[in-house]
Each structure stands twice: as C-alpha cells, then as structure tokens.
Structure 1
Amino acid sequence: MRIKLALISLCLAGTAGIAQAKDPNLGRNLAATCANCHGTNGKSVGGMDSLAGEPKEKLVQKMADFKSGAKPASIMHQISKGYTDEQIDLIAAYFAAQK
C-alpha cells in the first residue's frame, strides 16, 4: 500500500512539472511576483532596479549570485532560493523581452 502511494505521488509530481513547462504564460506569471519592488512588467518607478529590457544572461547571473550568496541583498537571497533554475530562466526571458 505504501509503495502504491509513493508511486502515485511521484507520478503526480512529475506531471506538475510537465504542466508548468507547457504554460506559455508561466514566465509572465512568475515575473508578476517581482512587481511590488521592481514595478509592473519590470519597469521600476522607485529606488529598485528596472528589470525590463535587461539582457537575459545578466538577469540569470544576478539571480544565481543572489541564490549562492555571492551578491549581498536584504531579501533577494531568500526570494531567489524559492525558484528553480528553469523558473529563473523563464523570468529572465520575460523581463528581457519587455521594452
């Protein structure tokens, strides 16, 4: 019984990843969480950096630096650890496409 439950759980977890990969709006949806600090669509109106139009590679590297602790931050080091590398890539691609 426990083996069946574990197998079912594993299958469901695997299909969740597939469902996310097929969502064409996933990058936009994930990036929406950044709006409070970095502005709608990454266009900051305050003291935070704007993310819109930045090169994807630069944004991915910044997130990796926050995630590893190489770049000091007040909160981004915690936020970045909540995303997978694939999700960070999607977020960076979304912001890079904004003008």
Structure 2
Amino acid sequence: MTEEHRIQNEIRCAVSPYCTVFRVNVGEGRTADGRYFTTGVPKGFSDLFGVRHKDGRAVFIEVKTNSGRVRPEQKKFITKMRECGALAGICRSAEDAVNLLMEE
C-alpha cells in the first residue's frame, strides 16, 4: 500500500460520521485488441467524492502525501467545484479532511 493510499483510507474512516464518500478509480490501458482507453472521469477529478450528511453539499477531496504535488488539472477542478458551491480541497491528513467538512 502506498503512503497516499494509507492516508486515503484514514480519511475515509475519519469523515464517515460527517459524509458518505466514494473512492474514484482512474486509469488507462489497452484492450485485448490494442485499442487505447481511459476511465470516465475528467483529468483532475478528486480521489474521493461524496455528500455531506448535514446538508447534502457535494464533497471533493484530493489526497496527497506531505510531499505530494498538486497537478494544474487538480487545482482547476477543485477551484471549479468550490465555485459551484461544493466543499473541495487538498487533504494531506485525516485532520485536513475533517476540517474541510466543517466549512460552512
């Protein structure tokens, strides 16, 4: 398990009293006959997404290690989601994620 996956699992446990979150699996590859494909979410889509229990507000959490770099597409996605009224941010710990969910 990578450090980012460990943090992601800690976040999922810590936020469960406050929201329902789902992990987004992304990737790319080739089919058996050689065709290229990518999964269905746009570049920059956050690692975790869901809904805050108290008000149904959308939640987007980009998980990073302490040294993890945020890609421009991720910054753009988070900015756009916040402009739309969602709770969205970069979280490097479970504490960061819980603090994000406490925003009004």
TM over 0.5: no
User: Which structure: greater strand fraction?
Assistant: 2
Which has the larger Rg? 1
User: Which structure: greater helix fraction?
Assistant: 1
TM-score by length of 1: 0.28
